[in-house]
Amino acid sequence: QVHLVESGGGMVQAGGSLRLSCAASGRTFRIYRMAWYRQAPGKQREHVATVSVSNSPTYADSVKGRFTISRDNAKNTMYLQMNDLKTEDTAVYYCNVPDHLQPWGGGTLVTVSS
């Protein structure tokens, strides 16, 4: 089992930037793809971005060109650099292992104001 802790959220104005971190416990972090998800108020949780073991990314269309996902296997940490934030990016952001879903962490809240 992998224990996941998200951090880095906050309140920012539209057009601003934030960098989220996901700290994972366990030696198995480096053998799995990792992903960011988000859940906006009143909506279903949705996929945001995935990073492969070798740091190859994929993105949801809604964040492509604005968000950058990366990982540091030596630190068991994954990141999400979010630029040009929009009000519709407001959500609780979670990380997880897409091929072996783990218990969801508490997430980190991102609030983007206009």
- Specify the pLDDT at position 66: 98
Compute the Cα dihedral for 9, 10, 12, 18 and give only its sign.
negative
What whole-number distance in Å separates Cα of residue 91 and Cα of residue 114? 15
Confidence bin at 24 (pLDDT 50/70/90): very high
| pLDDT for 29 beyond 80 | no
In tens, the pLDDT along 35-64 reads: 999 999 999 999 999 999 999 999 999 999
Asked if pLDDT for residue 108 goes beyond 70, the answer is yes
Q: 3-state DSSP call for residue 101? A: coil
